[in-house]
């Protein structure tokens, strides 16, 4: 078996290289100064790669300016162009970005001639030494694939494999892959299926791991830790992004907490501590066990310490819950109150999809396409709907990708620009182009009428 490893600037990606933490700007890419400033903040926070929304040729030009400004200021961090729908944009971005992410579900929708456009794109990537990511999301599977395999992890795997075969035919290996979903079961199954297929084929490409539309705060971190952790535990994954509906700077410490847990030996130690108990289907851990191998890490605040703790606990027990190896856990000697730990347990059990206590939120992290104050709106939606146990509610930043990406949400709040929002019931837009100030009430009314 051959593990593909390649360089993006000075970074090594794939093979046995360390797992890299990356993130994405949520600035408008046309706003060069704001994007440069955010990139610098993200680099200082520890981002090893930064992705920027690149929806058109104007954004490719801006990306060039952003890159040059960063270089002139001494910042050489690889920049990734995030391209959807338009293969001409991907082709243009290949000469500017260090890596281009394409979404196979919607690549070449302008030209319809996906294979030829892809060949042109790869030719440009070869010419400029640009890497690519085939970044498929559960919500954006093409019609042909879903007709053949349903809307399943298998369909996701098959879709990515088709594009990897095209890369092989074109003799191009600077390829990473991702196969994300917001549901941790779907996401982990899809990655595992793809990894098994790559092993069978004898070539393992670097995998970019992430739980998409994970939301924010504790639940976003817990979902991401469980989904990413279950794969890293099995040696799957070369780079990770913890997508949060928050300032992207917050994604970096969350990603670093996950990586540190595996690198400092805690993952192995916890497994050796609890494995013999697994048949009892309930594990008992002490708070200290979570930090048994951790060299003193300087947390800047109590919030950061808490975030690290919930990620460690999710990695230790949430992954076992997701794998259905245990049904319960007990945590002893923790500095937190029983009430706080009870809520945390509910969130971990729900993220592992074992028990449902709260609504299921699907919220995108936002990007250069975001049309409104996503984080603030998402928090308002959460506040007003917290009692709706089991209801799946999506809050998405744009009308271009939002409706497709909100997957199997029961209701959706999708920003469409110009202060307007569209409210969905399933895939059906029920209230179109409503003013933002009325949108939350209409969402609540729609849910009330149907539940
Ligand atoms: S759904 Fe959200 S993250 Fe995805 S493209 Fe739209 S605004 Fe960006």
- Judge whether 284 and 275 are in contact, CB under 8 Å: no
Q: Tell me which of 3.20.20.20, 3.40.50.970, 3.40.630.30, 3.20.20.70 is the CATH number of domain 2-209.
A: 3.20.20.20
**Residue 451 CA, ligand 1 centroid: distance in Å:** 28
With 90 as the cut, is the pLDDT of residue 104 above it? no
First to last CA, the chain: 52
User: Of 174, 43, 53, which is closest to residue 103 (Cα–Cα)?
Assistant: 53
User: Of 438, 427, 329, 287, which is closest to residue 377 (Cα–Cα)?
Assistant: 438
With 70 as the cut, is the pLDDT of residue 302 above it? yes
Residue in 24, 401, 407, 417 to alter for ligand 1 test, most ligand atoms within 8 A of Cβ: 401
- Judge whether 23 and 51 are in contact, CB under 8 Å: yes
**Residue 69 CA, ligand 1 centroid: distance in Å:** 26
Backbone torsion region of residue 159, taken as left when φ is above 0, otherwise alpha when ψ lies between -120 and 50, otherwise beta = alpha
CATH of domain 360-450: 3.30.413.10
**Residue 398 CA, ligand 1 centroid: distance in Å:** 5
Atom of ligand 1 nearest to the CA of 364: 2
**Closest Cα to atom 6, ligand 1: which residue?**
398
Domain boundaries, the chain: 2-209, 268-351, 360-450
With 90 as the cut, is the pLDDT of residue 99 above it? yes
Strand partners, 331: 285
| Average pLDDT of the residues in 424-430 | 95
Residue 401 beta carbon below 6 angstroms from any ligand 1 atom? yes
Q: What is the Cα 358 distance to its own chain's centre?
A: 21
Residue 365 beta carbon below 6 angstroms from any ligand 1 atom? yes
Q: In this structure, what token pair is assigned to residue 405? A: 């990406």
Q: In this structure, what token pair is assigned to residue 248? A: 């992207």
Residue in 212, 403, 405 to alter for ligand 1 test, most ligand atoms within 8 A of Cβ: 405
Confidence of residue 110 (pLDDT cuts 50, 70, 90): low
Give residue 395's pLDDT: 96
With 80 as the cut, is the pLDDT of residue 360 above it? yes
Q: Distance between CA atoms of 158 and 148, rounded to whole angstroms?
A: 10
Confidence of residue 140 (pLDDT cuts 50, 70, 90): confident
Q: Which letter does DSSP use for residue 214 in this model?
A: B
Confidence of residue 79 (pLDDT cuts 50, 70, 90): very high
Q: What does the angle CA 217 – CA 223 – CA 225 come to, to the nearest 5 degrees?
A: 100
Atom of ligand 1 nearest to the CA of 406: 1
Q: The sheet that has 239-240: what strands, in order across it?
A: 175-180, 131-137, 99-102, 79-83, 49-53, 20-24, 239-240, 208-209
Residue in 82, 362, 396 to alter for ligand 1 test, most ligand atoms within 8 A of Cβ: 396
Atom of ligand 1 nearest to the CA of 243: 3
Lowest mean pLDDT among 66-75, 140-149, 180-189, 254-263: 140-149
- Kindly report the number of other CB atoms within 10 A of residue 33's CB atom: 11
With 70 as the cut, is the pLDDT of residue 6 above it? yes
Residue 180 beta carbon below 6 angstroms from any ligand 1 atom? no
**Closest Cα to atom 3, ligand 1: which residue?**
366
Residue 402 beta carbon below 6 angstroms from any ligand 1 atom? yes
Lowest mean pLDDT among 10-24, 191-205, 405-419: 405-419
Residue 364 beta carbon below 6 angstroms from any ligand 1 atom? yes
Give residue 400's pLDDT: 85
Give residue 120's pLDDT: 95
Q: Distance between CA atoms of 54 and 42, rounded to whole angstroms?
A: 18
Confidence of residue 21 (pLDDT cuts 50, 70, 90): very high
**Strands (DSSP E) found in 153-248:** 175-180, 203-204, 208-209, 239-240
Give residue 277's pLDDT: 64
Atom of ligand 1 nearest to the CA of 371: 7
Confidence of residue 295 (pLDDT cuts 50, 70, 90): low
With 90 as the cut, is the pLDDT of residue 330 above it? yes
Query: Which position has the token pair 């319809």?
Result: 112
Please write down the HEC assignment for all residues of 124-140: HHHHHCCEEEEEEEHHH
pLDDT in tens, 248-286: 999 999 999 999 999 999 999 998 888 766 777 899 999
Q: Which letter does DSSP use for residue 197 in this model?
A: H
Q: Distance between CA atoms of 139 and 141, rounded to whole angstroms?
A: 6
Longest dimension (CA), the chain: 61
The whole-chain average pLDDT of the chain stands at 94
Confidence of residue 207 (pLDDT cuts 50, 70, 90): very high
Residue 404 beta carbon below 6 angstroms from any ligand 1 atom? no
Q: What is the Cα 125 distance to its own chain's centre?
A: 24
| Average pLDDT of the residues in 361-387 | 94
Give residue 303's pLDDT: 95
| Average pLDDT of the residues in 9-29 | 97
With 80 as the cut, is the pLDDT of residue 109 above it? no
């Amino acid at each position: 078996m051959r593990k593909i490893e390649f360089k993006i600037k000075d970074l090594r990606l794939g093979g046995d290289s360390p797992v890299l933490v990356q993130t994405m700007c949520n600035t408008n890419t046309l706003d060069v100064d704001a994007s440069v400033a955010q990139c610098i903040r993200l680099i200082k926070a520890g981002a090893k790669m930064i992705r920027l929304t690149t929806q058109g040729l104007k954004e490719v030009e801006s990306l060039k300016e952003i890159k040059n400004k960063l270089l002139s200021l001494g910042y050489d961090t690889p920049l990734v162009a995030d391209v959807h729908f338009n293969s001409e944009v991907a082709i243009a971005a290949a000469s500017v970005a260090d890596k281009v992410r394409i979404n196979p579900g919607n690549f070449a929708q302008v030209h319809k001639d996906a294979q030829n456009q892809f060949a042109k794109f790869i030719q440009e990537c070869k010419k400029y030494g640009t890497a690519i990511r085939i970044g498929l999301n559960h919500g954006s599977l093409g019609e042909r694939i879903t007709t053949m395999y349903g809307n399943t992890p298998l369909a996701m795997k098959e879709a990515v494999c088709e594009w990897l075969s095209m890369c092989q035919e074109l003799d191009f290996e600077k390829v990473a892959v991702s196969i994300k979903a917001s549901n941790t079961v779907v996401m982990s199954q899809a990655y595992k299926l793809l990894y098994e297929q790559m092993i069978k084929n004898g070539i393992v490409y670097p995998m970019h791991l992430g739980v998409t539309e994970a939301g924010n705060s504790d639940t976003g971190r817990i979902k991401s830790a469980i989904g990413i952790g279950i794969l890293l535990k099995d040696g799957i994954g070369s780079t990770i992004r913890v997508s949060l509906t928050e300032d992207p700077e917050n994604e970096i410490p969350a990603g670093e907490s996950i990586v540190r847990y595996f690198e400092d030996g805690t993952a192995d130690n916890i497994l050796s501590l609890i494995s013999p108990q697994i048949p009892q289907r309930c594990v008992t851990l002490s708070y200290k066990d979570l930090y048994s191998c951790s060299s003193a890490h300087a947390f800047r605040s109590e919030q950061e310490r808490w975030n690290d703790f919930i990620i460690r606990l999710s990695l230790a027990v949430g992954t076992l819950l997701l794998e259905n190896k245990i049904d319960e856990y007990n945590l002893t000697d923790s500095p937190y109150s029983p009430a706080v730990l009870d809520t945390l347990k509910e969130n971990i059990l729900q993220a592992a999809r074992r028990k449902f206590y709260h609504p299921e939120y699907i919220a995108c992290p936002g990007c250069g396409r975001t049309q409104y104050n996503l984080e603030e709106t998402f928090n308002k939606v959460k506040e007003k709907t917290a009692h709706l146990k089991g209801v799946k509610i999506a809050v998405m930043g744009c009308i271009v990708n939002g409706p497709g990406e909100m997957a199997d949400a029961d209701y959706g709040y999708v920003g469409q620009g110009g202060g307007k929002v569209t409210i969905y019931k399933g895939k059906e837009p029920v209230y179109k182009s409503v003013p933002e100030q009325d949108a939350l009430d209409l969402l609540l009314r729609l849910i009330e009428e149907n539940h």
